[in-house]
Structure 1
Amino acid sequence: MESLLKHKSLNEIAYEIIRDKILKGEFEPGSRIREDLLAEAISMSRTPVREAINRLIADGLIISRVRKGLYLVQPTSPEIDDYIDIRCALEKLAIEKCIKKINEEQKTKLRANLQQFRAAIDRGDFEACNALDADFHMTIAQIANNGKLIALLRDLSAFFQLARRTEKREHPKEKNEQTFREHSLIFEAIMAGDTEAACNAIMANIETMRRNLHADSVKTSSTGRPNSLIA
Structure 2
Amino acid sequence: MDSMQEGKTMRETAFDVMKRNIISGEWPGGMFLSEKFLSELLGMSKTPIRSALDRLEMMGLVKLSPKQGIIVQEVSLKKILEIYELRLSLETYAVRKLTGKMDDAFFRRLDENMALQAEAIERMDITRYVELDGQFHEMIVDGLDNEEYAEVMKRIQDKFMLVVRTTFARNPSRLKGSLEEHWQIRHALAGQDVELSMRLIEQHIEYVKVIML
Task: Say if 1:117 and 1:132, in contact at 8 Å, map to a contact too.
Answer: yes
Query: Which residue of structure 1 aligns with residue 48 of structure 2?
Result: 48
CA distance in 2, matches of 1:2, 1:123: 27
* 1:15 partner letter: F
Query: Which residue of structure 2 aligns with residue 213 of structure 1?
Result: 212
Structure 1 residues 101 and 54: CA distance shift in structure 2, 3 A? farther
Structure 1 counterpart SS, 2:13:
helix
CA distance in 2, matches of 1:97, 1:35: 47
The superposition leaves residues 13-58 of structure 1 with CA deviations (integer Å, 9 ceiling, x where unpaired) of 2212221222233212221222332122211111111110111112
CA distance in 2, matches of 1:169, 1:74: 16
CA distance in 1, matches of 2:68, 2:33: 10
CA distance in 2, matches of 1:76, 1:2: 33
Structure 2 counterpart SS, 1:44:
coil
State the shift of 1:138 in Å.
1.2
* 1:39 partner letter: S
Q: How many matched pairs?
A: 211
CA-based RMSD of the aligned residues comes to: 2.2
Task: Say if 1:91 and 1:202, in contact at 8 Å, map to a contact too.
Answer: yes
Query: Which residue of structure 1 aligns with residue 147 of structure 2?
Result: 147
- Please list every run of 5 or more consecutive structure 2 residues that lacks an aligned counterpart in the other structure: none
The superposition leaves residues 81-117 of structure 1 with CA deviations (integer Å, 9 ceiling, x where unpaired) of 1111111112223323433752111112212322332
- TM-score in terms of structure 2 length: 0.87
* Percent identical residues: 26
* 1:195 partner letter: V
* 1:35 partner letter: E
* 1:152 partner letter: V
State the shift of 1:190 in Å.
0.2
- TM-score in terms of structure 1 length: 0.81
Query: Which residue of structure 1 aligns with residue 18 of structure 2?
Result: 18
Structure 2 counterpart SS, 1:196:
helix
State the shift of 1:2 in Å.
6.3
- Please list every run of 5 or more consecutive structure 1 residues that lacks an aligned counterpart in the other structure: 215-231
User: Is 1:112–2:86 an aligned residue pair?
Assistant: no
Structure 2 counterpart SS, 1:148:
helix
Matches within 5 A, 1:105-184: 105-172=105-172, 174-184=173-183
CA distance in 2, matches of 1:110, 1:60: 29
Task: Say if 1:98 and 1:141, in contact at 8 Å, map to a contact too.
Answer: no
Structure 1 residues 208 and 3: CA distance shift in structure 2, 3 A? closer
